[in-house]
Amino acid sequence: MSSSPTSWTTPLIFHGTFIHSISPKEVDIILNGLLVVSQQGKIVFLRRNVPAPDVKKLLRFLPGLPNLSDSPVRFLTRGEFLIPGFVDTHNHAPQWTQRGMGRGLLIMDWLNKVTFPHEAKFEDPEYARQTYASCVDGFIKQGVTTAAYYGSLHGEATKILADTCLEKGQRALVGKCCMVRNAPDFYRDKTNKESLEVTEDFIAHVKSIDPSGLLVQPILTPRFAICCDEELLAGIGDIASKHRDMMIQTHFNEAKQEVAVTKELFPQFENEADLYEHFGLFNNRTIMAHCIYPDDYEIGRIKACDVGVAHCPVSNTTGGEWGAAPIRRYLDMGIKVGLGTDSGGGFSSSILDASRQAFIISLGRELMTDGKEQRLTLWECFYLATLGGAKVCCLADKIGTFETGKDFDALEVTTLLDDGQSSLVEEDDSVADIFEKFLMTGDDRNIAKVFVMGRSIKKSKQ
């Protein structure tokens, strides 16, 4: 199995509208753009304001490139555009088939009654193979070009997840879930030693199938502090110290019940930030999911340690509690924030749904704070879905925008559908109007193609 990028005889060339975020507040709408993707899947040329009749002429004389005037060009029409691929910063792959279950249950009841029994099924490799194939295809269909996946605690099943992502061409961070307590006997690592050894073996497997980490990388995944003891957290921290570039993911201030139980189990720490930082798991390579209830001190540590926040607005508002994370405050402080579907704590596998719910929750925060934390704009929600998520995953040097030199991870979007779902495009709509209609009413039917490193990976009949 190889992760070498697919090569083509000619580059990919697009002309039309391209839309990407420059910052949380600024969206760049490129009109009459000309974009060239190399045979290795990298953006090698981008220019705006190129009249369509001039494209072939310009392609003869691109700096540093051969004459491309005879190469096929995809001319995007009005109502069609390219955007960067969506980044899902928090996703439980084993929960793919339990989405929507257990609504209204507090977190510990939900884990014990619904989630742990379901995740235990992944002891069966064939079940894992079938489920993960459906899962990865499903997220690709929704335009998720990059996902940070929790696997189950099973080493073999998590290897299958990594293999599946690589085979289907999705960029992914994949982690074996570590957990030794506060879970049923049938679903926990037997010992800390076993948990760490299986983790090390999984890391070795991922490095063997994708040595350069071009698409798939391992990510250290303690489920959360409640399911780990000090010895296990210390062991995971030791692995992190040996692999300085390896990402880390876990949950943080997800629910009031979770915060209270964590404090009971680790009374020596005043808060979760100090707990994770003590074990070397709270740094610029860390993705902390949820981050709903941190106090000023913890927010300060998130900023100081350059920790990334995975905002999961769907699951945060449809479980046993209603939670609204202070995303406006995070963004204003320059904290890295992206979106997570939190499938199956969240009922939807759509980053578009997460983006819309992030907007709705921000309205709630504005009311809760008497206007001190202003609502998010739709442009900011789009940023969270793309460049913000890339920053959280420490991949912004590779993906998230259409800058030259980056990998071409992108979605070809069409709003030219009369399906009764997405808003119809009218003659007097501006490009910004069309884009807003897609953000608020579009779904996977509007995502015509999904590209990762220049390779088209969405099944044509999904």
Q: Are residues 53 and 124 in the same domain?
A: no
Q: Are residues 325 and 443 in the same domain?
A: no
- Residue where the block lists tokens 């299986």: 198
Q: Are residues 317 and 445 in the same domain?
A: no
pLDDT in tens, 310-323: 999 999 998 888 99
* Domain boundary, last residue among 374, 393, 412: 393
- Residue where the block lists tokens 């100081």: 304
Above 50 in pLDDT, residue 339?
yes
* Domain boundary, last residue among 393, 418, 440: 393
Q: Are residues 308 and 174 in the same domain?
A: yes
Count of the separate structural domains present in the chain:
2
Above 70 in pLDDT, residue 462?
no
Q: Are residues 377 and 259 in the same domain?
A: yes
Sign of the Cα torsion 374, 26, 458, 4 reads negative
Peptide bond into 344 cis (omega under 30): yes
345 contacts: CB under 8 Å, gap ≥ 6: 92, 95, 110, 312, 315, 319
Average per-residue pLDDT in the chain? 95
> Which domain CATH number covers 389?
3.20.20.140
pLDDT in tens, 361-379: 999 999 999 999 999 999 9
Whether 157 is covered by a domain: the verdict is: yes
Mean pLDDT of 385-414: 98
Position 5 scores a pLDDT of 47
140 contacts: CB under 8 Å, gap ≥ 6: 168, 169, 170, 450, 457, 458, 459, 462
Higher pLDDT, 422 or 252: 252
> Which domain CATH number covers 72?
2.30.40.10
Quickly state the pLDDT bin for 333 (edges 50, 70, 90).
very high
Whether 254 is covered by a domain: the verdict is: yes
Whether 63 is covered by a domain: the verdict is: yes
Higher pLDDT, 112 or 460: 112
Position 4 scores a pLDDT of 44
- Full-model pTM: 0.96
Q: Are residues 90 and 78 in the same domain?
A: no
Whether 4 is covered by a domain: the verdict is: no
Report how far residue 152's alpha carbon sits from residue 165's, in angstroms, rounded to the nearest whole number: 15
Helix (H) or strand (E) holding 162: helix 155-168
Q: Are residues 418 and 383 in the same domain?
A: no
DSSP 54-117: GHHHHHTS-TTS---TTS--EE--TTEEEEEPEEEEEEEGGGGGGTTTTTT--HHHHIIIIIHH
Q: Are residues 293 and 417 in the same domain?
A: no
Whether 461 is covered by a domain: the verdict is: no
Q: Are residues 57 and 90 in the same domain?
A: no
Position 420 scores a pLDDT of 66
Position 422 scores a pLDDT of 81
Q: Are residues 50 and 122 in the same domain?
A: no
Above 80 in pLDDT, residue 81?
yes
* Domain boundary, last residue among 364, 393, 422: 393
Whether 451 is covered by a domain: the verdict is: yes
Q: Are residues 40 and 184 in the same domain?
A: no
Lookup: tokens for 385: 């879905």
pLDDT in tens, 1-50: 444 444 546 799 999 999 999 999 999 999 999 999 999 999 999 999 99
368 contacts: CB under 8 Å, gap ≥ 6: 324
Percent of the chain with pLDDT over 90: 91
Report how far residue 192's alpha carbon sits from residue 175's, in angstroms, rounded to the nearest whole number: 16
- Residue where the block lists tokens 């209270």: 260
Mean pLDDT of 261-269: 97
Position 159 scores a pLDDT of 98
pLDDT in tens, 147-176: 999 999 999 999 999 999 999 999 999 999
Q: Are residues 193 and 63 in the same domain?
A: no
Domain, as residue range, for 246: 86-393
Mean pLDDT of 403-432: 91
Whether 65 is covered by a domain: the verdict is: yes
pLDDT in tens, 194-209: 999 999 999 999 999 9
Lookup: tokens for 411: 């979605």
Whether 5 is covered by a domain: the verdict is: no
Mapped onto helix, strand or coil, the DSSP state of residue 425 is coil
